[in-house]
Chain A
């Protein structure tokens, strides 16, 4: 297993025929610096993403989902974000990787797309040139091959006239087109893992569907694993194969989508699903969740959700909440999950 990015042919044989997951996080904890103190923002999160799998992390703001994504890419320096525990990419540790090796991975074997495509694109550079930059860095293609590759990539994300789009500047594209250009750029070096941090939140639903369908199609075509970060349960329900639900930096429930969303066991997941608006009969009120998400500075020992939980009692304040296995691949961190 090599970490270099140019090992897979563009015609898309599936990565990682071996059993090792593409990404695994074990007891991952993240800390941010605040003056002399460090504040824990993610505690003991473990999950795995298999080759070709669509894994979604869902949570409200402040749940730590974006920080987990950034820690995988190590986008923040160690002085700002401390990583404890293990992060492994294709069986190799990412946490101990020196910065220059990490650099070869970013945009190569692991790539990322963000919520606001306008701020992630260089406004002064044509789209094609920006894609070419990542190709120059990570591959040994010559100029002509690069031009061909750019055309294939832009066609892959459903641009009817790839040559025309390659010559355009970001401000000439609409939000959905920019996000598609970002996806083309992210896929330039045949990554094995695509991290998508709320990629459709800023887009209209009709465009959202277009972008999601593109991600889905390319995932199948290239055997890509996707780590999808979202707050939108209905979107996750539609596209994810496995789901992890985060609350206050803790992975509350994780497992196959049909279990976690279909028949959730954790009271937080259930409450969250009950918050989703939708049709109601006259006079009906969905219950929602009282209170607000606690800030990392106010985290007390025990279950983070207990103040807002209907099933909570004195035992929930104990410091250790066990993770219960509900099936070989489905688990919930709760004292009394519904069976």
Chain B
């Protein structure tokens, strides 16, 4: 049975990231300060929401957390162990305990690869034997509500919601302590979106997964997340229990954001 350690706290301290863009040979390059000292802690089994508008740095933060970008300064640690930085080169990416799910399930699966192969790729890289891999793939597929024979099919045979389940299975098969989901339900129809949200809630209860859920949709945060951090202009402007932040926002941007959301 797939299990996670359920003990590791993720901490980010003062994470900064600046992008430089060349403006031609002689002009001064321009700077985008995507992250300006972001700090937070995510407890084990917590679903931590990060909300903000486009350009606020939430996706950059997600990419830094999984090591797709390197932060300029600040530190990231998981269960007391440092995630990236000097001396970390000997920890292979598959053992870092963090996996990611992206927004577009159509773009994030290789169309020529059988679903089973795609899910098992990380296991193969970490050196697991084929027969063991197959068992793990079947187990993970049933965990995300797909039948084990999905492993022999190709991505085009699945709907958007099913593909997102496959992407989540591919992340979970590595037994991560943390799942980083960047707008993972934004491309889905609302009827399917609810299925995936419920699945994430069940996964947290069943295998003790911690989730960092990045979204622009306040109502999704309200449904899914225990804690929320609101980002604006590369900074965390507010952080707290979801209900507290939504009922009683302190920051002026959070107030504008919450009052702009259409409600049923």
Q: A234-B261, A271-B191, A286-B194 are in contact. List 20 more A-B contacts (CB 8 A).
A: A60-B189, A204-B53, A206-B53, A209-B260, A231-B189, A232-B262, A235-B262, A238-B263, A261-B264, A272-B191, A275-B191, A275-B193, A275-B194, A277-B193, A277-B223, A286-B223, A288-B191, A290-B195, A292-B162, A293-B189
Measured between beta carbons, the chain A residues less than 8 angstroms from B197 are 277
Complex CA distance for A288 and B53, rounded to whole angstroms:
26
A144 near B: Cβ within 8 Å? Answer: no
Question: Could you say which residues of chain A place their CB within 8 Å of the CB of B220?
Answer: 277
Q: Would you list 16 pairs from A and B whose C-beta atoms are within 8 A, ordered by A residue?
A: A60-B189, A204-B53, A204-B216, A205-B53, A205-B216, A205-B262, A208-B260, A233-B190, A234-B262, A237-B263, A271-B191, A278-B222, A285-B201, A286-B194, A286-B198, A288-B192
Which 3 pairs of residues, A with B, have the shortest CB-CB distance? A288-B194, A277-B223, A204-B53
Contact check, A289 vs B219: say whether CB atoms are below 8 A apart: no
Whether A288 contacts B198 in the complex (CB less than 8 A), given A206-B256, A277-B222, comes out as: yes
Chain A 271-287 interface 0/1 with B at a Cβ cutoff of 8 Å (1 = within): 11101111110000111
- Number of B residues whose C-beta is below 8 Å from A? 32
Q: Could you tell me if A234 and B193 are in contact, using CB atoms closer than 8 angstroms?
A: no
Is the CB of A4 closer than 8 A to any CB of chain B?
Answer: no
In the assembled complex, the Cα of A209 lies from the Cα of B224 at a distance in Å of 24
B161 — nearest CB in chain A belongs to which residue?
A292
A276, chain B: closest CB distance, angstroms: 6
Contact of A13 with B by CB under 8 A: no
Shortest beta-carbon distance, A305 to chain B, in Å?
Answer: 11
B159 within 8 A of A: yes
Separation in Å of the A17 CB from the closest CB of chain B? 32
Q: Does A61 contact B (CB under 8 A)?
A: yes
Q: Report the separation of the CA atoms of residues A36 and B222 in the bound assembly, to the nearest whole angstrom.
A: 49
A278 to B193, CA, bound (A): 12
B167 within 8 A of A: no
0 or 1 for each of B99-126: is its CB under 8 Å from A? (1 = yes)? 0000000000000000000000000000
CB-contact partner of A231 in B190, B243, B260, B263, under 8 A: B190
B161, B223, B257: the one within 8 Å of A206 (CB): B257
Find out whether the CB atom of B53 lies under 8 angstroms from the CB atom of A278.
Answer: no
- The interface residues of chain B lying within 8 Å CB-to-CB of A209 are 260, 262
Query: Who on chain A is nearest to B198 by CB?
Result: A285
User: Which B residues touch A288, using CB under 8 A?
Assistant: 191-195, 198
B216 near A292 with CB under 8 A, answer: no
Q: Is the CB of A233 within 8 A of B264?
A: yes
Chain A residue numbers with a CB within 8 Å of B224 are 277
What residues on A are CB-neighbors of B219 within 8 Å? 234, 276-278
Q: A237-B262, A238-B263, A286-B198 are in contact. Are A205 and B218 (CB under 8 A)?
A: yes
Is B54 interfacial (CB 8 A cutoff)? Answer: yes
Pick the most buried of B161, B189, B218, B222: most chain A CB atoms within 10 A of its CB: B189
Docked pose: A278 CA to B220 CA in angstroms: 6
Residues from chain A with Cβ under 8 Å of B257 in the complex: 205-206
Inter-chain contacts of A290 with B (CB < 8 A)? 195
User: B14-44: which have CB < 8 Å to A?
Assistant: none
Contact with B along A208-241 (1 / 0, CB 8 A): 1100000000000000000000011111011100
For residue A59, which residue of chain B has the nearest CB? B189
Chain B nearest CB from A295 CB (Å) reads 9
- Whether A280 contacts B191 by the Cβ 8 Å rule is no
CB <8 Å contact, A278 and B159: no
A279 touches B261 (CB 8 A): no
- In the complex formed, the residue of B with least CB distance to A60 is B189
Could you say which residues of chain B place their CB within 8 Å of the CB of A60?
A: 189-191
Chain A minimum-CB-distance residue to B219? A277
Question: Please, which residue of chain B has its CB at the minimum distance from the CB of A287?
Answer: B194
- Tell me, rounded to whole Å, the shortest Cβ–Cβ distance linking B35 to chain A: 19
User: Of all chain B residues, which has the CB nearest A239?
Assistant: B262
Which residue of the partner chain, among B53, B162, B264, contacts A234 with CB atoms under 8 Å? B264
Report A247-290 CB contacts with B as 1/0, cut-off 8 Å: 00000000000000100000000011101111110000111111
Interface residues of B in 247-264 (CB under 8 A from A): 256-257, 260-264
* Pairwise interchain contact B262-A292, C-beta atoms closer than 8 A: no
Given the complex, which residues of B lie within 8 Å of A271, measured CB to CB? Answer: 191
Contact with A along B199-243 (1 / 0, CB 8 A): 001000000000000001111101110000000000000000001
